[in-house]
Amino acid sequence: NCPSIEYLSLIFSPSNEHFAEIEKLLKICQNLKSLLLIIIDYACEDSTYEQKVLEYGEILLKILISSTLNNMKEIRFCGDFKFSLQALEEFLKKWEGNALSIITSNYIEEDYEELINKYKNNGVIKDFIWDFHRNIIDIEI
């Protein structure tokens, strides 16, 4: 049980079991203010890497949507994942009413910047920061 946990860091390899456990954990930990998620996939082959990291990103965002973390102020993403534009927009639509800081290690391209600015202007995103892996892990809360 973790109802009083406010800051949580999870490092995991992507598997159905791990994603299911994370979803269960987040549904219990309703007082989370900051979440660091690090995915490391040592088994992913070069030929399927892009497809897999998009899949991991979509799964993560769906888990976060279904977890309804009302107290969440910051989410840090790091590692082997990417968000499709469509999955990110779906996530941000569901997050309306909360000013969320998002910190990621994935490079954000111009079309993503437009989407991010749209949701910054709507008050859904407080800050959206891209940084190196090591800096995301070491950020002071």
Phi, psi of 87 (to 5 degrees): -65, -40
pTM: 0.85
Could you tell me which of 101, 52, 98 has the C-alpha nearest to residue 76?
101
Domain ranges of the chain: 7-138
The model's pLDDT over 78-137, given as tens digits with 9 standing for 90+, comes to 888 888 999 999 999 988 888 899 988 876 677 888 999 999 999 999 999 887 656 666
Classify burial at 67, counting beta carbons within 10 Å of its beta carbon; exposed 0-12, middle 13-18, buried 19 or more.
Answer: buried
